Chains A and B, each alone.
Chain A
Amino acid sequence: MADPMRIRANVVGDATEVKVLMNHEMETGQRKDAQGKTIPAWFIQNVTATHNGKTVLTAQWGPAVSKNPFLSFKFKGGAKGDKVQITWIDNKGDKRTDEATIA
């Protein structure tokens, strides 16, 4: 099981700013190990963010997104105390969902 994400959601004006730091190797499939064997690719492919059950952002990622990916975005609406949920799925089918409360 992958490590939890760090999610911060703050109200800024009439929008909510969400910052997410995920824990993931994001292995590209281009690197080789000490024996010269290619390290297989392992990266997050799909990211979904929801606010009160409504999707506010979806993303498709390739292996060129940095290790332990960072993502920041804003959506309109959202009040203090609302929940923001982030889900990612990687190319091995592993999955993680974390939730944060808007502050």
Chain B
Amino acid sequence: MNTGRRQMLKTGGGVTLLTLVAAAGWLKPGEALAADAWNKAAFEAKSMDETMKAMGGGAPAQSKDIVFFQTPDIAENGAVVPIGVTSSIPKTESIAILVEKNPNMLTAVFDIPAGTEPSLSTRVKMGQSSNVYAVVKADGKFYMASKEIKVTLGGCGG
């Protein structure tokens, strides 16, 4: 088999496409292959303001339409804290989970396309007792809800 030619085509094609994409300014060189859509600035931000700025929003408005479910008041193990968030705000586009006292607040961002319910759950790490924020982007605006979770390391229970 003429593998040389195949390889050549593959590499050649890849480079051209990447160069085009980089030239068009969609991707910054160097980040191109590492992660295609990872908001580095937001994940490295240390405060709520910085995080919101990096996500392209201002201070979010408090909302009662964001509800935590399956989320404990007291977590015995900070390494595995279940967090569930449901938003009943129409046109919810994304849900972000932030832990206030972690080294970097932003934990996860979920983009919700139409047809997917704005309700999901996952597990996060918490270094210590802290407020947890759910920030919802709906119709271009930001809303948030918070919940305090106490972490008791050592497994003695609440």
Report B23-43 residues with CB < 8 Å from chain A CB.
33-39, 43
Inter-subunit contact A72/B115 (CB<8 Å): no
Indicate whether A64 sits within 8 Å of B116 (C-beta atoms), given known contacts A46-B35, A46-B38, A91-B34: no
- Grouping DSSP codes into helix (H, G, I), strand (E, B) and loop, the A interface class, with mixed when no group exceeds half, is strand
Q: What's the A-B contact tally at a CB cutoff of 8 Å?
A: 104
Q: Chain A residues in contact with chain B, CB under 8 A? A: 15, 26, 28, 30, 45-46, 55-67, 69-77, 89, 91, 93
- A103 nearest CB across to chain B (Å): 19
Q: In the bound complex, what is the Cα–Cα distance between A56 and B34 (angstroms)?
A: 23
Q: Does B52 contact A (CB under 8 A)?
A: no
Given A30-B103, A74-B116, verify A66-B124 contact (CB < 8 Å).
Answer: yes
Q: Does B20 contact A (CB under 8 A)?
A: no
With A59-B108, A76-B116: A70-B122 Cβ-Cβ less than 8 Å: yes
Contacts A65-B122, A74-B116: A57 and B110 contacting too (C-beta < 8 A)? yes
Shortest beta-carbon distance from A72 to chain B in Å: 5
Residues from chain A with a CB closer than 8 A to the CB of B120 are 57, 71-74
Is A60 in contact with B125, judged by CB distance below 8 angstroms? Answer: no
